[in-house]
Structure 1
Amino acid sequence: MGKNLLQKADIQIEGIRPWDIRIRHHGFFKRIMLQGLLGLGESYMDGWWECDRLDIFIYKFLAHKLDEAVPGYYSDIMMGLSGKILSRKSDDCGCSALEKEYGIGYDVFAHMLDPYMQFSCGYWRAGATLAEAQEAKLKMVCEKLQLAPGMRVLDIGCGWGGTAEYMARHYDVYVEGITNSTEEQKVAQSRCQGLDITIMLEDYQDLPDDKFDRIIALGALEYVELKNYQNFFKAVARSLKPDGLFLLHSTGSTQLVNHVGPWLNKYIFPNGCLPSGQQLVQSIEPYFKIEDWDNLGTDYDKTLMSWFEKINESWPALSMNHSPKLKRMLDYYLCSGAGFFRAGKIQLRQILLCIGGDGKTI
Structure 2
Amino acid sequence: MAGVQRPQSIHQSAAPHVYRGLTGRVRDVLEAADVRINGSRPWDMQIHHPRTLTRIALQRSLGLGESYMDGWWDCDALDEFFHRLLTHGANRVSHSPLQNGLQWLGHWLFNRQNLHRSTKVARQHYDLGNDLFEAMLDPSMSYSCGYWRDAETLAQAQEAKLELICRKLNLKPGMTLLDIGCGWGGLLEYACRHYKISGVGVTLSQEQASLARERCASLPVDIRLEDYRQLEGRFDRVVSVGMFEHVGRRNYATFMETCAGLLHRRGLMLLHTIGTNTSTSRHDPWIDKYIFPNGELPSCAQIARHAEDWFVCEDLHNFGPDYARTLRAWDRNFVAHWSQLADRYDQRFHRMWRYYLNACAGAFQARDIQLWQWVFSHAGGREEVYTGAR
Same fold (TM over 0.5): yes
Deviations 1:304-335 (A, max 9, x none): 11101100001111111111111111111110
What percentage of residue pairs aligned between the two structures are identical?
Answer: 44
- Residue 57 of structure 2 corresponds to residue 41 of structure 1: no
Structure 1 spans left out of the alignment, 5+ residues: 80-87, 358-362
Aligned-partner Cα distance in 2 for 1:92–1:182: 16
Q: Specify whether residues 281 and 37 from structure 1 end up closer, same or farther in structure 2 by C-alpha distance, changes over 3 A only.
A: same
- Residue 342 of structure 2 corresponds to residue 319 of structure 1: yes
Q: 1:301 aligns with which of 307, 324, 336?
A: 324
Aligned residue number for residue 20 of structure 2: none
Q: Specify whether residues 351 and 92 from structure 1 end up closer, same or farther in structure 2 by C-alpha distance, changes over 3 A only.
A: farther
Structure 2 spans left out of the alignment, 5+ residues: 1-24, 104-111, 381-390
- Residue 299 of structure 2 corresponds to residue 281 of structure 1: no
Q: Specify whether residues 61 and 289 from structure 1 end up closer, same or farther in structure 2 by C-alpha distance, changes over 3 A only.
A: same
Aligned residue number for residue 50 of structure 1: 74
Residue correspondence of structure 1 range 265-276 to structure 2 within 5 A: 265-276=288-299
Contact 2:323 2:371 in 1 (8 A): yes
RMSD: 2.3
Aligned-partner Cα distance in 1 for 2:171–2:161: 14
Deviations 1:258-316 (A, max 9, x none): 23221111112222211111111111111111000000111111001110110000111
Aligned residue number for residue 205 of structure 1: 229
- Residue 273 of structure 2 corresponds to residue 241 of structure 1: no
Aligned-partner Cα distance in 1 for 2:375–2:176: 17
Aligned residue number for residue 330 of structure 1: 353
Aligned-partner Cα distance in 2 for 1:327–1:98: 20
Task: Name the SS for the 2:172 alignment partner.
Answer: coil
- Residue 183 of structure 2 corresponds to residue 164 of structure 1: no
Aligned-partner Cα distance in 1 for 2:139–2:116: 25
Aligned-partner Cα distance in 2 for 1:317–1:90: 36
Residue type of the alignment partner of 1:302: R
Task: Name the SS for the 1:37 alignment partner.
Answer: helix
Aligned residue number for residue 108 of structure 1: 132
Task: Name the SS for the 2:96 alignment partner.
Answer: helix
Q: 2:160 aligns with which of 136, 155, 165?
A: 136
Deviations 1:106-138 (A, max 9, x none): 000000001110000000002110000000000
1:98 offset after TM fit, Å? 7.1
Task: Name the SS for the 2:41 alignment partner.
Answer: coil
Residue correspondence of structure 1 range 186-201 to structure 2 within 5 A: 186-201=210-225
Aligned residue number for residue 360 of structure 1: none
Residue type of the alignment partner of 1:317: Q
1:254 offset after TM fit, Å? 0.4
- Residue 366 of structure 2 corresponds to residue 346 of structure 1: no
Residue correspondence of structure 1 range 56-71 to structure 2 within 5 A: 56-68=80-92
* Larger deviation, residues 58-67 vs 304-313: 58-67
Aligned-partner Cα distance in 2 for 1:92–1:158: 20
1:69 offset after TM fit, Å? 6.2
Contact 1:98 1:268 in 2 (8 A): no
1:64 offset after TM fit, Å? 2.2
1:250 offset after TM fit, Å? 0.2
1:3 offset after TM fit, Å? 3.1
Deviations 1:161-198 (A, max 9, x none): 11110000000000111111122111111100111111
Task: Name the SS for the 1:118 alignment partner.
Answer: coil
Aligned-partner Cα distance in 2 for 1:340–1:58: 7
Q: 2:48 aligns with which of 6, 24, 30?
A: 24
Q: Specify whether residues 98 and 187 from structure 1 end up closer, same or farther in structure 2 by C-alpha distance, changes over 3 A only.
A: closer
Residue type of the alignment partner of 1:301: A
Aligned-partner Cα distance in 2 for 1:260–1:139: 32
Contact 2:52 2:73 in 1 (8 A): yes
1:72 offset after TM fit, Å? 3.4
Residue correspondence of structure 1 range 244-259 to structure 2 within 5 A: 244-259=267-282
Aligned-partner Cα distance in 2 for 1:183–1:43: 30
Q: Specify whether residues 66 and 181 from structure 1 end up closer, same or farther in structure 2 by C-alpha distance, changes over 3 A only.
A: closer
Larger radius of gyration: 2
* Larger deviation, residues 27-36 vs 305-314: 27-36
Aligned residue number for residue 291 of structure 1: 314
Task: Name the SS for the 2:34 alignment partner.
Answer: coil
Aligned-partner Cα distance in 1 for 2:94–2:225: 44
Q: Specify whether residues 103 and 285 from structure 1 end up closer, same or farther in structure 2 by C-alpha distance, changes over 3 A only.
A: closer
Aligned residue number for residue 283 of structure 2: 260
1:93 offset after TM fit, Å? 11
Task: Name the SS for the 2:66 alignment partner.
Answer: helix
Contact 2:317 2:372 in 1 (8 A): yes
- Residue 198 of structure 2 corresponds to residue 174 of structure 1: yes
Task: Name the SS for the 2:271 alignment partner.
Answer: strand
Q: Specify whether residues 92 and 173 from structure 1 end up closer, same or farther in structure 2 by C-alpha distance, changes over 3 A only.
A: farther
Contact 2:121 2:294 in 1 (8 A): no
TM-score, length basis structure 1: 0.90
Contact 1:260 1:269 in 2 (8 A): no
Residue type of the alignment partner of 2:299: S
Q: Specify whether residues 154 and 92 from structure 1 end up closer, same or farther in structure 2 by C-alpha distance, changes over 3 A only.
A: farther
Q: Specify whether residues 101 and 238 from structure 1 end up closer, same or farther in structure 2 by C-alpha distance, changes over 3 A only.
A: closer
Contact 2:256 2:307 in 1 (8 A): yes
Contact 2:126 2:205 in 1 (8 A): no
